Each structure stands twice: as structure tokens, then as C-alpha cells.
Amino acid sequence: MTDVEVLTIGEVLSVLLAEPGVPLGEASRFDLTYAGAEANVAVGLARLGHTVAFASRLGDDDQGRRVLRELRGEGVDVDAVALDRARPTGLLLRDTLPTGISVGYRRAGSAATALTPDDLPSDGLRGARVLHITGITAAISSSARATVLAAAHRARAVGVTVSFDPNIRMRLADAETWREITEELASLADVLLIGADDAAAIGVADPIAWGHERGASTVVLKDGGRGASESSGGQVWQQPAIRVPVVDPVGAGDAFAAGWLSGWLRGVEPERRLLEAAAVAACVVATRGDVPGLPDPARRDKVLVGSEAVAR
Ligand code: KDG
């Protein structure tokens, strides 16, 4: 693997997206796309001009090879993606109904559930500035959990910043397991990017204090349409969400994380990186699917300048 700024590890799934306005159980036409929290962040960062690698396992099947081609086409380094002959690429089916999105997972026994620490790029952290992980990968299997943990420990050992987003999906594990996963990984994170809904799901009332208590020097609280805040160096900054017509909110948190990490990597000030993150998230919620709306810097800046949002 060539030197990259960011390494992410996780499961990328083929996605069947039901035709607009039709519930999943009734749809007969679907768009085939792909998504996965860490892959969404990887593509988001690549489109914003960063070098990023994604480590995973995909099925050695048509879907796996297709996703691999798409990621490679985005400029994501996929040298550390293994193709597994024995297990399939995971599949997610969902709709985009404004009244509540239905999701169906077909990922039990997927190639990514067989991730082990041996799948980590042996030299992958050398030169990287950030390891970005989420709780989703830790929740799909015990060996995937061990992989994410090993990656975080290795990153810390060589001084690579660990960025962690719990991304709690109650369909993948019970509340107690999520509490354990979130505690375990938050205590290894330098940067905690946490959704207000995720914090609520594990009974955390003050996510900023909670994150700092576990050792994160920076805590970014994402509160969807209510905006976001960052706490670092004893200061707190706030950013309202940028208002756009919401077409499909899925992937907004990952887009926000990519936008924020891009600002952090470029050394921009907290209020500016929160604003950039809000703009990247706005681009994604205004578009169907997790990945298509991820902007390049010119598009991000257009949304940012066009918004009336003011960093406070
Ligand atoms: O953050 C969006 C992701 O949740 C979605 O794209 C798929 O990673 C995914 C999951 O496990 O739900």
C-alpha cells in the first residue's frame, strides 16, 4: 500500500435502493449501488482530494468485484481489500421514504464478517495520519471486532490519530453490546465523532463530557438537522445545519465525518471545518444514496457560500 493520509476499515455492501416514494416491501424496481459507513467516509475524503485506503473483505463475486472497481475508480487505495471465495459480498436493501426508511440486511456470513487482524495492511499505518473506524464493523462479528480493536491499538502505538464514530445500528447488536463496543473504542479514540441519537441509544446524556472523560481530545457532536458542535482545547464551537431539501438522509453522518476530517487534515480552524462538514452532509442528504452526493471541494464550497449558515 502506498502512503495515505487516512486508513479506514469496514464492510462495504452492495445496496439495492428502492424506486423513489415506494416502500421496500412493495418496490419492484431498484437502483444497484453500494455503501458502508467507512467506505462512505473513504470516498468522501477521496473526492475532497485526500489520499485514503480502505481495508476489508469482499466476496469474490460479481457484486464484490463491482464495488472494488467503483472504489478504485474513486481513487481509494483498495490494495488491502481481500476477495473471499468462500463468502459473499454483503447486501443491504432499503427505501428512501420520508416517513421512515426501511432497511433489510443480508450480511450474516458475509466476507467482511470474516475480517481478522491478519487483513490489516502490514505497513498500512506507516505514513497515515488518521485511522477512521466505526462501531458497525465491531458489531458484525467477533473477528471483525478484534480487527478494529487491533487497528486502533496499532495506530495508537505509532502515534496515528484514531477517529471513531459509533454509528450505532440496533439491528446489528443489542444495547448492552453497543454500550461495550462504544466504550471500548471511544477509550482508544483521539477524535470522537458521535451522533446525538447514538449517544441517546446508549444512555449517554452529555456526549461531549463523556468523550473527553474517555480520553478523546476532540469530540464532535452531530445532531442532524439541529446542527453540530466541536469541543477541543477547552473550547466549544457550534454550527447550524445547512438547510437543503432532504431527499435521502442516509449517509449524512459519514459525509459530515469526511468533511470534518478533511478540514482537520488541512489544519483549518474548528468553525471552518464544522461549516465544511455541514456543507458535505447537505450535499449528501439532497441526493439519493450514500455516495453519489459526496462533493468535490468546488461543490462543497458552492453549497457553503450559498448557505446562510454562520459559524458561531
Ligand atoms: O451510515 C450509513 C450506513 O449505515 C449505511 O450506508 C450502511 O454501513 C451501513 C450499515 O451497516 O448500516
Express each pLDDT in 258-291 by its tens digit: 999 999 999 999 999 999 999 999 999 999 999 9
Report in angstroms the alpha-carbon separations of 114 from 11, 58, 59.
10, 10, 11
Q: At 224, is the pLDDT very low, low, confident or very high (cuts 50, 70, 90)?
A: confident
Write the CB contacts of 119 (distance below 8 Å, at least 6 apart in sequence): 55, 56, 57, 80, 82, 147
Q: Report the residue among 290, 291, 294 best suited for mutation to probe ligand 1: largest number of ligand atoms under 8 A from its CB.
A: 290
Q: What is the mean pLDDT of residues 1-11?
A: 89
Answer whether residue 310 shows pLDDT above 70. Answer: no
Strand order in the sheet with 30-35: 30-35, 13-18, 91-94, 103-106
- Measured CA to CA, the distance from residue 40 to residue 34 in angstroms comes to 9
pTM of the model: 0.96
CA 11 to ligand 1: nearest atom: 8
Answer whether residue 56 shows pLDDT above 70. Answer: yes
Residue nearest to atom 4 of ligand 1 (CA): 37
Q: Which of 11-20, 62-71, 230-239, 303-312 has the lowest mean pLDDT?
A: 303-312
Catalytic residues: 254
Q: Do residues 144 and 11 make contact, with C-beta atoms less than 8 angstroms apart?
A: yes
Give the model's pLDDT for residue 132: 98
Measured at the alpha carbon of residue 27, what is the angle toward residues 104 and 252, in degrees to the nearest 5?
55
Backbone φ and ψ of 182, nearest 5°: -65, -40
Express each pLDDT in 67-120 by its tens digit: 999 999 999 999 999 999 999 999 999 999 988 999 999 999 999 999 999 999
CA 136 to ligand 1: nearest atom: 11
Q: What is the mean pLDDT of residues 144-156?
A: 97
What is the number of alpha carbons within 13 Å of residue 61 lying toward its C-beta? 14
Higher pLDDT, 309 or 174: 174
Whether 136 is in the pocket of ligand 1, judged by its Cβ within 6 Å, is yes
Query: Over the chain, what is the mean pLDDT?
Result: 95
Treating both helix axes as pointing N-terminal to C-terminal, what angle do 142-157 and 175-186 enclose, rounded to 10 degrees? 20
Could you tell me how many helices (H) and strands (E) the chain has, helices first?
Answer: 10, 13
Q: What is the mean pLDDT of residues 168-183?
A: 96
